[in-house]
Amino acid sequence: MSDVEEMDTSPDNHATDNSVDLVKDENDEVVEAEVVEADEEDNFCKPEGLVCFVIAGLSKLTGSILSQPTYIRGLPWRLLVMQRDVTTKEGRVKGLGVFVQCSPDSIEMQGYSCYARATITLVNFVDPKNNHSRDINHWFYNKENDWGYGNFMAWQEVLDPSKGFIKDDNIELQAHVVADAPHGINWDSKKHTGYVGMKNQGATCYMSSLLQTLYCTNKLRKAVYQMPTENDDSVKSVPLAMQRIFYELQYSDKAVGTKKLTKSFGWDTVDSFMQHDVQELSRVLLDNLDDKMKGTIVEGTIPQLFEGKMESYVRCTKVDYVSSRTETFFDIQLNIKGKKNVHESFKDYVAVEMLDGENKYDAEKYGLQEAKKGVIFIKFPPVLHLHLMRFQYDPITDSNIKINDRYEFPEHLKLDEFLKEPESTPPHYTLHAVLVHSGDNYGGHYVACLNPRGDGKWYKFDDDVVSKCLKRDAIDYNFGGVEDIAVMRSCTSAYMLVYIRDSHIVDILQEVSDSDISEYLVKRFEEEKRMDSIRRKERNEAHLYFQVEVYVEGHFQAHVGTDLVLMGEAKPICFKVSKSSTLQDFKISLAKQMGFPASHVRMWPLEKRNNNTIRPTPIEMAENMGKSVFECADCRSSWPLFLEILDPDSEAECLSEYDFRSQVLLFYKYYDPHMQRISYVGHTYEVISRYFAELMPFLREKVGLSANTPLLLYEEVKPNMIEPIDPYKQLRQLEEIRDGDIICFQRADLPLDKMEVSTVQDYFRELYNRVEVIFCDHTILGDHGVAIPLNLRMNYVQMAKAVAQVLGIDWFYLQFFKPNHSRTLPDVPIQHNTDGSLRDFINWKFKHADQNFYLYFQKVMRFVMLIHPVKGQCVWDIL
């Protein structure tokens, strides 16, 4: 069992901070560290540091002791030291316990997590070459904030003066800590580096790494800004999405989201949680940009930056015959299996293959000949993308595996020997980006280490966190193949390299200024930013508001069917209302927004009755005016209202008073049996002692009938319950008369017996049984069909005739099929002489996932036996 362990012990006292700014190598000799000139804030957030701790009176130490902090990556790092009883092969002994601790004091930083590696050293005062050092690496977070050794060294060995580790009862401990930038706290990437990161949608860190690399290819970024996208779809355009990403990376102070970009790819949420091939994604993005640049001032930018040329050849060894073909490339895949470095991979790439024996080459008129086959580079591009083949198929396991062998790549790369002929400038390159993968073939994490200015100053882009990093962290520690966990995390290695040609580096990494971005793009993206800010504010404040849906008589007039309006289909006038607003304040505000004085409107909440109808109900303003509108709405997320408005043609100055005890609010519909149409005509307040016959003059006037026209009255109780009304009864005699009741009327002097749908009752019965069925042609694969409104009570012949009329053929030529409800496919044929109805054919109780009913048909030929009228013979005719 390893003696590397976590220790969670509260300190007893603190020693003084004797930290020094030295970096020592493995032999404990002082070496020159990678130092970047920095201000105090940068020192506070530096990537590495030395924690020094001199402990006086070690022999008297009984509890634990904690050093003063050294700040690295903005976090306090300390050494925690104690005497511990440990179990060894020799039994229970005392040991010196030493732990590196990272424990932020502020509550705001309690959610931190930070990966760090450290070398803990006990200084030897006699011979520094005999310093005792041990390594650790760990993810530090709130619940595991220290890591180290419970038995760093045997206690007696430390106290033995002859060993050289103690002097005057004092010891000196050091911890050289190298830490990544922390996650889970407010790390200001823009402030510390000048760059911002990208949010991870789930498994999009590989994409973020590639996008950061393309963004830091400044000449490409400038060209992208100049693409014409004024008329592009803001959702589907990949070039516009790339412009937006680059703009936000350049000007945002916080991590940039990628949802709009992935949406332009056509990806859904699931796609964002899947890792895609980086090389393929790179080619797709560059192809999209190249297509968009054609015919513009930046046409050809992509090939100018990324295109190289190679020659594939076959050269016969004994006759003068050469076959060659020039090809272009935008990236190079290098085999790393069994290779030590990039140079060896290039040698393998251009290695010559001998074609001899049974594998001779057919040299046309020369016949089969021995030949050399290979490739040679003609031209290397200014920006060289190298894809290291870390992921390869393993025939033994029949699966892809990750090759994590050590593979070195230089900061400066020379490729002269791989050219067919020298170019005008030598193919010497400087490393610009290292894309890194940690994990295995089944998953992991991607980061990018970038040298944005080509000056050797490296930055690590890890999702939303960007930090400065050391050159060795960007290059040496990503060679892979290192099993020592103290040196690096396992299975961490580079999988893609980006080099920039030295002769082009100034041009490619030129500064991108505000003037390089068109005014149109700035306005568009700033407007998008403003709208996103508004929507974000609305989402954050959504719990403070709820929605009021207002319906007016115009909605009722447009509605044809049961009730006054069909929720979900009619589009109400919506208002976002503060839950804390009083009902009185809301009424005044609503009237103002609708353009009326408050005295000209009255609110009637639309409530669902026990019979599932939706009707207006009264609300007593005098009793509720001081209540919150949200409380009046019974704390619902939305509140539908009918807003009664004073008729503009009325001479009244306000709506008439309404007596909730003696009056009732009634709505009226008129049915025309000629048109088979029912329409809304208005509403009134009526005293419940009035007779229904007294309403008739008003109803005749509303629809333009003469004064003597007889009327039939009905109450619309619910869709399948329409009750006749005796006009000589009082309103109060109508069973359960209440506000929001609907009175339907029609003329009584028409020949109703000669009409197909003659009465209000017939109309609503017909409406109640009406259904829309989609008929699909059985013989056409994927036929979307035609929607036909029918009556559920139709028999086979009635249904067939109705469908045939729409299709324009004789119904006798149609064969119908029931649907298979496990799939949207035809199933059992329907016999033409069946006794069932349409309700049976479609299985009324079952709807498909798209909430539609389906039937299928096909056109057929029928054989009919006819009797010859003269000879009396039977003949068969084909219909």
Catalytic residues, which ones?
205, 445
Report how far residue 335's alpha carbon sits from residue 17's, in angstroms, rounded to the nearest whole number.
Answer: 51
Report how far residue 114's alpha carbon sits from residue 105's, in angstroms, rounded to the nearest whole number.
Answer: 15
Report how far residue 501's alpha carbon sits from residue 263's, in angstroms, rounded to the nearest whole number.
Answer: 34
Q: Which amino acid is at 139?
A: W
Report how far residue 517's alpha carbon sits from residue 218's, in angstroms, rounded to the nearest whole number.
Answer: 13
- DSSP letter (8 states) at residue 409: -
Beta bridge partners of 716: 722
HEC profile of 25-72: CCCCCEECCCCCCCCHHHHHCCCEEEEEEEEECHHHCCCEEECCCEEE
8 Å CB contact between 281 and 210: yes
Residue by residue, DSSP assigns 767-812 as HHTEEEEEEEETTSTT---EEEEEETT--HHHHHHHHHHHHTS-GG
Which distant-in-sequence residues (6+ apart) come within 8 Å of 207 by Cβ? Answer: 258, 262, 276, 278, 281
Report how far residue 151's alpha carbon sits from residue 156's, in angstroms, rounded to the nearest whole number.
Answer: 12
Alpha helices in 580-684, H assignment, sequence order: 583-594, 621-624, 629-632
**Alpha-carbon separation of residue 782 from 552, 620, 777, 852 (angstroms):** 43, 57, 9, 16
8 Å CB contact between 774 and 853: yes
Question: Could you give phi then psi for residue 312, rounded to 5 degrees?
Answer: -95, 130
Q: Which residues of 45-80 are buried (b: 16+ CB within 10 A; e: fewer)?
A: bbbbbbbbbbbeebeebeebbbbbbbebbbbbbbbb
Q: Which amino acid is at 414?
A: K
For 429, counting Cβ atoms within 10 Å of its Cβ (0-12 exposed, 13-18 middle, 19+ buried), the class is buried
Cα 187 vs. chain centroid, distance in angstroms? Answer: 23
Pairing of strands 492-501, 383-388: antiparallel
Rounded to the nearest 10°, the torsion over CA 588, 592, 594, 596 is 90
**Angle ∠(644,649,655) on CA atoms, nearest 5:** 35
Q: Which of 85, 252, 254 is nearest to 155 (CA)?
A: 85
Report how far residue 393's alpha carbon sits from residue 390's, in angstroms, rounded to the nearest whole number.
Answer: 10
8 Å CB contact between 817 and 777: no
Q: Which of 280, 308, 289 is nearest to 222 (CA)?
A: 289
Report how far residue 141's alpha carbon sits from residue 122's, in angstroms, rounded to the nearest whole number.
Answer: 25
